[in-house]
Amino acid sequence: MVRPSQLLYPQREPAPTRAAATVLLLRDSPEGIEVLMTRRSMTASFAPGAYVFPGGGIDAADLAAHAQSTRRASQSDLHLTQAIAAIRESFEELGVLLARHADGSYATTTDIAALDRKAPFAAQCRDKGLVLAGDQVFVLAHWITDRDLPRRFDVPFLVARMPEGQEPVADESEQFEPCWVRPADALARHEAGSFFIIFPTIRTLQRLKPFATVDAVLQACASEQPLWTSCPRAGFLEGAETRYMEHEAPYGELALTSPDGQMVHTLDWQTAQPVALLKNVMRLTAPNPGVMTGPGTNSYLVGDPNTGYIVIDPGPADMDHLQRLWRAAGGDIRMIVCTHSHADHSPGAKPLQALCNTPPPILGLPSAPTARAASQFTPDQSLSNQELLTLTSHGLKPEMTHTLKVMHTPGHAANHLCLMLVEDGILFSGDHILNGSTTVVDPPDGNMNAYLESLDALSAACDEHGINFIAPAHGYVIGEAKTAIAQLKAHRLKREAKIVGVMQAQPEGTMDDWVKIAYDDVDSRIWPVAKRSLLAHVERIQAQGLFNL
């Protein structure tokens, strides 16, 4: 866990959330599913003028109405309460009623006309002999309003089929202009500036777009668990406010730089000056963007003006980049560590060392005999597995210490290592774990079995040292470190299972034949590189006796 003393900004308690529910009423059309949306009042306190799905706050009467609703055997009390709230709000806002007569037939427009939208809802339905159709309302997603906003809600996004024969009529108070729209069309109109929708609505429509029928949506929701849960985080990109969900690349970095959710961090990739991630961690990205390096190679500075700095991965021998690193450290570089010997990580070590008045040692592991010619590297001192690299302030009270623990993690390269910032639970992963892509495992210096075993060791280290964040050599900081490692391993094993299937289906095939099928989900321009990882998988598959050439 990050020490509060190292956070960049004073933290504050986010606004409390209010329980609410919203529902996506769906219908099939020849062009695909359509969803019912309506425009909020321009004077509304939340999202004025936005097109939304009907919904609102949950109240005590919704809980009390359980006996007046049907329910699925697997439907929890909470989900039933949420369903009843959504049914009530759909009626009050749009005159749509998910309720049935004793014979199972849905309420008609005549039934609806006999009800008062402003009178107690459940009592009216009871008096008219109508039973709420809570069993026909399913959980699609769970949204918690962003931590930076002053009004926050904890709200399930529910789905239900629109009852046949009913037509939405807005209350003309809170809601206006009800309309049926295909998710793709709503998104396109929003992009064109004619259909204002807010972030959760956008992301929900994006997730809904691939479904062909209402049945397909309802079947996907049959587990009673939300298909996704999100409390978005906000930052700045190209000068504009931007928001991200948990699965998106910048989310972890926003969680690190402002755990309470304040919108303070800028996400633009730039090489001219370092980006502060914590008071004791800065990132400077080398100007070497590309297919293999993404936005560029991340060099990290760990430490502060009172302790001096450790540089992790000085990058290529780009003097402008190295001078910026030196200036960011105020010239006080105590150690230079290379996570491995590849050409975008270690060549800058010697020239950076030469810039320092007191040359710091270059630390790492020497390249193995299996390394390619462009990846030769010999450190001043070899690091041992579990070795501690420590920076300590002197003459200050309290004393400040920053400790990096070394872990030998072969796989991407035989001499690869990762570093853990022990006091703050951050893993500097080099190329072993990247954000937005999987690393190449290139035999003979790379080895897939060693790579997977190193992932297991890193997962165990997350537990031992409370590691929550991963700072990769390419891409933004990754949050939920142990989960990210588990997902990465699962992805590798799923790919390997696919490769086994391809090899068994085409036992006489070549690597070129196999890569086209095993990696058919990636850009064909990546296949020459993917073929190196394919070879690493094939070697592991053969070693396990799963296939013999």
Q: What is the pLDDT of residue 292?
A: 85
- One domain for residues 390 and 284: yes
**Average pLDDT for residues 271-284, to the nearest whole number?**
97
The domain boundary, picked from 178, 211, 231, lies at: 231
Q: What is the pLDDT of residue 34?
A: 97
pLDDT tens digits for range 97-129: 999 999 999 999 999 999 989 899 999 999 999
- One domain for residues 308 and 437: yes
The domain boundary, picked from 231, 259, 280, lies at: 231
- One domain for residues 499 and 484: no
Give the model's confidence band at 332: pLDDT under 50 very low, under 70 low, under 90 confident, else very high: very high
In a domain, 386, yes or no: yes
**Quick check: 374 pLDDT over 90?**
no
**Structural domains in the chain (count):** 3
- One domain for residues 450 and 534: no
- One domain for residues 300 and 225: no
Range of the domain at 515: 492-543
In a domain, 257, yes or no: no
Region at 70 (left for phi over 0; alpha for psi -120 to 50; beta for the rest): beta
- One domain for residues 176 and 207: yes
In a domain, 91, yes or no: yes
- One domain for residues 450 and 308: yes
Long-range contacts of 245-250 (CB under 8 A, 24+ apart): 245/203, 246/479, 246/480, 249/435, 249/436, 249/475, 249/476, 250/476
Phi first, then psi: give them for residue 437, nearest 5 degrees. Answer: -160, 170
The CATH number given to whatever domain includes residue 327 is: 3.60.15.10
Region at 304 (left for phi over 0; alpha for psi -120 to 50; beta for the rest): beta
- One domain for residues 206 and 298: no
The CATH number given to whatever domain includes residue 100 is: 3.90.79.10
Secondary structure class of 61 (helix, strand, coil): helix
Q: What is the pLDDT of residue 549?
A: 61
Residue with tokens 């891409």: 475
pLDDT tens digits for range 4-14: 999 999 999 99
- One domain for residues 135 and 284: no
**Quick check: 462 pLDDT over 80?**
yes
pLDDT tens digits for range 26-80: 999 999 999 999 998 887 777 788 999 999 999 999 999 999 999 999 999 999 9
d(CA 20, CA 47): 15
Give the model's confidence band at 255: pLDDT under 50 very low, under 70 low, under 90 confident, else very high: very high
- One domain for residues 81 and 133: yes
| 420, two tokens | 């853990």
Q: What is the pLDDT of residue 548?
A: 67
pLDDT tens digits for range 199-223: 999 999 999 999 999 999 999 999 9
Q: What is the pLDDT of residue 159?
A: 98
Task: Report percent pLDDT > 70 for the chain.
Answer: 99
Going by their DSSP bridges, the two strands 138-144 and 228-230 should be labelled as parallel
In a domain, 254, yes or no: no
The domain boundary, picked from 208, 231, 254, lies at: 231
- One domain for residues 70 and 189: yes
Q: What is the pLDDT of residue 41?
A: 83
- The H helix count followed by the E strand count for the chain is 14, 24
What mean pLDDT value characterizes the chain? Answer: 94
The three-state DSSP-derived secondary structure of 332-351 is CEEEEECCCCCCCCCCCHHH
Q: What is the pLDDT of residue 545?
A: 84
In a domain, 252, yes or no: no
Give the model's confidence band at 395: pLDDT under 50 very low, under 70 low, under 90 confident, else very high: confident
- One domain for residues 280 and 173: no
In a domain, 261, yes or no: no
In a domain, 10, yes or no: no
In a domain, 548, yes or no: no
Q: What is the pLDDT of residue 467?
A: 97
pLDDT tens digits for range 335-364: 999 999 999 999 999 999 999 999 999 999
**Quick check: 544 pLDDT over 90?**
no
